[in-house]
Amino acid sequence: MDYQEYHDPLFDHDFPHSGANGQVGFSPGITGNHDPASQPPSHVPMNDPLYTDMDHFSSEMIALAKQGIQGSLTCHDKTHRGNEKTHSELSELKRGQEELLRRLGEFEERSERRAEQFKRAQDDLKEELLKRVGEWIEESRRRHEEESKKQHEEFKRQYEQLRKLIIELFNSGRRKPPAPSYLTRPPRPDYPYRTYEPAVPDQSRPAMLRREDIEQIIHQVFESTTI
């Protein structure tokens, strides 16, 4: 059906025309000009349901529109609350991450300080250990020198004593032995030559030592000497 033949009066029912040429004043549904003679045909009854149910139809549309808008607002509120909750959770997560970073920084600083303290303690212990070892080595060397000196002095003393003893023994061995007994026996009357009786040995002079006696004395001296 052509627009010029039939125009739905639904768009112009509640809105007055303005102008002689039939221009619609404030109806949002129709723009432009149309022929004012283009009215609903005369054979359309006034009790047509299209006209009688307009109020009910508009109320349902308004109710549906309100319901849709209310649902949209509810959904928007829910979305807004969800966004606020999400934002709050994100803010809490951000604060937790910042706190975690702060604690990690503190832990790293403490770890660095402890590492420095451990290194200083290790260096101090190393220096103290080296000092103690040096003192122990010096003390050991000093004691060794003193002990060696004492042993050397004792060895020299015993050696000198042994040397004097050996010299004395050999000097005593060089003394003149006593005369044979046949030269000291008294004369007999039956012999024409003069004889002598054995004389009493001189106790003031030591007897001549044998080689075995000298070796035994040296052996005893060395056994009694600790070097």
Summarize the confidence of residues 9-21 as an average pLDDT.
46
Task: Look at residue 208 in the predicted model and tell me its pLDDT.
Answer: 59
DSSP structure class, residue 207: P
Task: Look at residue 2 in the predicted model and tell me its pLDDT.
Answer: 46
* Beta-bridge mates of residue 18: 23
Task: Look at residue 97 in the predicted model and tell me its pLDDT.
Answer: 87
Report how far apart, in Å, the C-alpha atoms of 23 and of each of 19, 26, 28, 39 are.
6, 9, 12, 14
DSSP structure class, residue 188: P
Tens digit of pLDDT for each residue in 29-55? Answer: 444 444 444 444 555 555 555 555 555
Q: Does the pLDDT value for residue 98 go beyond 50? A: yes
Task: Look at residue 167 in the predicted model and tell me its pLDDT.
Answer: 77
Task: Look at residue 162 in the predicted model and tell me its pLDDT.
Answer: 84
Residue 7: how many other CB atoms lie within 10 Å:
19
How many angstroms separate the CA atoms of 149 and 173, rounded? 35
pTM of the model: 0.31
Report which listed range, 51-60, 132-141, 171-180, is most confident. 132-141
Report how far apart, in Å, the C-alpha atoms of 27 and of each of 10, 35, 145 are.
11, 16, 128
Q: What are phi and psi of 23, to 5 degrees?
A: -75, 135
